[in-house]
Amino acid sequence: SELSNSPVFIDKLKENDHSDISRGAFAVAVVMVMVRRHLVMPSSQLLAFTLGRRSIVFPGIGTGAIDTKLHRLASTSNEPTSASTPLFSAEEARLYSLVSENHRQPNGPWPQMVSAVESALKAELTSTTATVLDLASGPGEPATTLAKTFPDLQIIATDVSPDMVQIASSNTALLGNIQVEQANMENLPYEDNMFDIVTCCYGYMFPEDKEKALAETYRVLKPGGSLIATVWSHMNAMYLPKLIMENVLGETPPPPPINPLSLAEPGLFQSMLTAAKFESVVSSKHEYAFDMGKDDLPFQISTLTIMAKLDELDGWKVAKEVFDKRHLEFGRFDENNCFIVGGNIYEMVVAKK
């Protein structure tokens, strides 16, 4: 009973340095107790921890495609949502959080967006006191870095995925000038003219109704306020999942359900901003490489955008075979045996209301 009512206990479990087998067995026991009693932590989240961490090994279960399939099955969220925006499952959220650390590179979007926010603050306000809304914040960025860099800012970080919100809440727990909320960017729960600045790193590619998302952004932004957003222009990291799906389907695949390149057409995002009544649209392009990690992580991250389709088509075995044969066409291993994929280009746009 005490265990079932103490999520903190699970955090302690994560910190303990037990052997792989005993830790795995103990985690499964915790899952069984909590599922039976229908208790406070969703079983999908706990199973995602149990099966989704590569350091936990269960006898008779190998690595690779089988593990990835288990990760996906274990981390499917049953929480209802009215959002049309694609939701990340717990496992997708975990992988996205890992790969998103690449965005922290000097030429990555997070430091570039922080610089753009600083410029906007200097141009529009007499101090760094302002209200900021961070959309599609994922693990809590760039909101977390902004909160640390500008302690006087009041920031709300949002994401449509409850699993992402949980990760962001953990990452920002010690910061007093930021709060994390679940929100659908197509239907924001905020008043008109509420925020001085809106930031959105790699978010506008995913809503089903992108025009509605931009209209909502415009609505909640104060007159004279700034939108600072990034979208992908080119991703070498997306060629490998496309190749995998070609082999699974036996034909050229349609765009993935989660498509980072949906706004990659030159001039498309700027024209959408203009149509949404934004003014003074200024853009710049930047390039950086992805460190995809080592061991089985490169395969897991490479299939992040096509997990649902591989589940649906039972395509994990083919996916692993294609990855093992062809991955060196798209990247290289560094001295630490991490898989590096270069040639990823994004566009940062600053627009005003």
pLDDT digits (tens, 9 = 90+) for 66-92: 343 333 333 333 343 444 555 667 888
Residue with tokens 């600053």: 350
pLDDT digits (tens, 9 = 90+) for 254-288: 887 778 999 999 999 999 999 999 999 999 999 99
Give pLDDT, residue 6: 42
Q: How many CB atoms lie within 10 A of CB 1?
A: 8
Residues linked to residue 178 through DSSP beta bridges, in sequence order: 155
The whole-angstrom separation of Cα 26 and Cα 34 is 13
Q: Say what angle helices 43-52 and 20-37 make with each other, to 10 degrees.
A: 170
- As separate numbers, helices (DSSP H) first and strands (DSSP E) second, the chain gives 14, 8
Question: Nearest Cα to 94, choosing from 176, 6, 209, 14?
Answer: 14
Question: Nearest Cα to 93, choosing from 258, 213, 315, 263?
Answer: 258
Q: Are 201 and 113 in contact (CB under 8 A)?
A: yes
108 phi, psi to nearest 5 deg: -80, 170
119 or 70, greater pLDDT: 119
- pLDDT grade, residue 4 (50/70/90)? very low
Residue percentage of the chain with pLDDT more than 90: 67
Give pLDDT, residue 87: 63
Q: Where are the beta strands (DSSP E) in the chain?
A: 131-135, 154-159, 178-182, 195-201, 221-235, 279-291, 332-333, 339-352
Give pLDDT, residue 350: 97
Give pLDDT, residue 13: 45
pLDDT digits (tens, 9 = 90+) for 12-36: 444 444 444 344 444 444 333 333 3
Q: What's the pTM value of the predicted model, to 2 decimals? A: 0.74
What are the DSSP calls for 189-221, one per residue? -S-TT-EEEEEEES-TTS-SSHHHHHHHHHHHE
